[in-house]
Structure 1
């Protein structure tokens, strides 16, 4: 793929599918807009962008906001990149055969394709991701495995540049990918200009890890909530209860009492269970070795991690990873440590 000189505009075509996800679209296009012109004037000088749909009419986002005007699909050779943004994945989702044919046409013409958020699903449906690495949000990882068992998605990074296929987990990471492309074509100064106006300090690399979901639920006690926040920040180490209590300005005895009143367990057990749940997530959604996972979860050695894991989940980490890879298996949900009175694993 050729790289433009800095005085040549960057041209991007957007393929917007029905009920496309709004945030990755907005983050990506706003990064282009701010890099395109001086200040906040929004003229398409250094960057050009075109919104397209199969019928050339306004399209609804997943939030109900309509994007207009949109054009019918243009010659893909007009663009440096085609960015496809998918919609909400549900039982009644529609397949846009015209859009899939257009993506295949673009691939044949050698135009790099970008799958933002669930746009990746469209690239797969078009048959354009065979043998490719692809990045997907942890939130859609299980759906991806179930629908496309031959695909090996990655859910522990923000985006993947695989040459003429770029895939992004979506959300705010779309701004990082857009800045990455702006820097490649126009230079770092323009990428940084966009991010700074968007109140982002700097672009995160594609290898930057996705934030892992950890705790879900409502906890009334503010001190317990603060303690949990500290525990989440120390997933890679077994923080002592003395250090935890000191960090939030209380005594160990009071901390333990408040945890038992709110959650029915000690903060020590809560911390261990949380780190084990994180290990479960890593087993499902990354290719890291069990030794690496044990270290990332703050266990002294693999044997210790395996013993604690088996005690919590009734199987070893190796058995859990094998089970997670079996199509149609009844998996343990690795997303959250649910809290409704007490932690459950």
Structure 2
């Protein structure tokens, strides 16, 4: 359970201060906020009876979402100790700083006061960049996990679950997972009846636990078993240095034999074959969409030997990686790889 720091006498047990980044994700913010609102309400009046929240800003200026809708702050930054949690809602990954210096300073003051910090969507990037995820793990959307690992190689990134509670840090993949995170907090601070009421009104069947896999169909088909879905997400996160199936099974919490059986039931294929196919699908996408050399693509997808990569690629797609790239170069000359890359690619013909 998340520990609540001391707040002013009479304060509600769950009071969230929201920090919205530039180009924040509206869906993650609204699903988090509406779960709080419905859990707090009595008599369908949107009352702040059981919990409270504010949108914080040092300037009071409107904050633009990634959808172009602007949200007005409701309170100044002030003293972070008036909140039980501070949640940073991220959005588009831009070169421009997502928060101003006053907001970053506020987060550090909240941390110094022992206030739990929450990173929603790419809010995990903001916390990491501010030095507030040191010696911790972070839950990141599968869509952004490669970006996170490139920017913060010393922070282990988890993209096989909805959210992750690590002491007084909570990081969430975003999207509908924000409602699950809010429900998690509501249940712990207000009780199960408040959680059930909030979710039922939103037409959400149940609150998913933190460890539930993020929604993803890596093989192009729906997979219903959570263990297989998590295994596929783990595979996607370990392309350049493929893991042993026994290691993946261990991380999922079952034996390798059981994972083999579940894969066959769910996908009609074995885990090893599915893993190879995921790596080849990524390789094909990189051949088509990037100007990276084929050697670089082969290594980054776990095929360090050119002949093996070329053979596997041809078996999967009916064409060699070199021939596929040459065909793209002929039809879209502007996207053709530079000469030094083309020379390297010759060995994959």
Q: Under TM normalisation by the shorter chain, which class is it?
A: 0.5 to 0.7
Question: Is 1:281 paired with 2:285?
Answer: no
- Which moves more between the two structures, 304-313 or 15-24? 304-313
2:164 alignment partner in structure 1: 160
**SS of equivalent residue, structure 1 residue 160:** strand
Q: Is the 8 A contact 2:121 2:141 kept in 1?
A: yes
CA RMSD of aligned residues (A): 3.9
Task: Report the Cα distance in structure 1 between the residues aligned to 2:237 and 2:124, rounded to whole angstroms.
Answer: 22
Deviation at 1:72, TM superposition (A): 2.3
1:223 alignment partner in structure 2: none
Task: Report the Cα distance in structure 2 between the residues aligned to 1:47 and 1:332, rounded to whole angstroms.
Answer: 47
Question: Aligned pair in 2 of structure 1 residues 111, 213: CA closer, same or farther (>3 Å)?
Answer: same
Q: Is the 8 A contact 1:17 1:53 kept in 2?
A: no
2:245 alignment partner in structure 1: 290
**SS of equivalent residue, structure 1 residue 138:** coil
Q: Is the 8 A contact 1:7 1:46 kept in 2?
A: no
Matching residue within 19, 24, 31 for 2:23? 19
1:44 alignment partner in structure 2: 48
Question: Aligned pair in 2 of structure 1 residues 78, 310: CA closer, same or farther (>3 Å)?
Answer: closer
Question: Aligned pair in 2 of structure 1 residues 313, 88: CA closer, same or farther (>3 Å)?
Answer: closer
Deviation at 1:9, TM superposition (A): 4.2
| Count of aligned pairs | 273
Deviation at 1:122, TM superposition (A): 1.1
Task: Report the Cα distance in structure 1 between the residues aligned to 2:165 and 2:126, rounded to whole angstroms.
Answer: 17
Task: Report the Cα distance in structure 1 between the residues aligned to 2:234 and 2:318, rounded to whole angstroms.
Answer: 16
Task: Report the Cα distance in structure 2 between the residues aligned to 1:86 and 1:188, rounded to whole angstroms.
Answer: 28
Instruction: Give ranges in structure 2 of 5+ residues lacking alignment.
Output: 250-255, 281-296, 303-316, 322-349
TM-score normalised by length of structure 1: 0.68
1:87 alignment partner in structure 2: 91
Task: Report the Cα distance in structure 2 between the residues aligned to 1:52 and 1:329, rounded to whole angstroms.
Answer: 47
Task: Report the Cα distance in structure 1 between the residues aligned to 2:72 and 2:191, rounded to whole angstroms.
Answer: 30
2:343 alignment partner in structure 1: none
Task: Report the Cα distance in structure 2 between the residues aligned to 1:171 and 1:70, rounded to whole angstroms.
Answer: 23
Instruction: Give ranges in structure 1 of 5+ residues lacking alignment.
Output: 217-227, 238-275, 315-327, 334-341
**SS of equivalent residue, structure 1 residue 283:** coil
- The higher-RCO structure (CA 8 Å, 6+ apart) is 1
**SS of equivalent residue, structure 1 residue 121:** helix
Q: Is the 8 A contact 2:121 2:173 kept in 1?
A: yes
Task: Report the Cα distance in structure 2 between the residues aligned to 1:309 and 1:3, rounded to whole angstroms.
Answer: 45
**SS of equivalent residue, structure 2 residue 144:** helix
Matching residue within 72, 79, 83 for 1:75? 79
Question: Aligned pair in 2 of structure 1 residues 286, 166: CA closer, same or farther (>3 Å)?
Answer: farther
1:174 alignment partner in structure 2: 178
**SS of equivalent residue, structure 1 residue 115:** strand
Question: Is 1:125 paired with 2:129?
Answer: yes
Task: Report the Cα distance in structure 2 between the residues aligned to 1:281 and 1:214, rounded to whole angstroms.
Answer: 8
Task: Report the Cα distance in structure 1 between the residues aligned to 2:207 and 2:240, rounded to whole angstroms.
Answer: 24
**SS of equivalent residue, structure 1 residue 82:** strand
Task: Report the Cα distance in structure 1 between the residues aligned to 2:240 and 2:60, rounded to whole angstroms.
Answer: 38
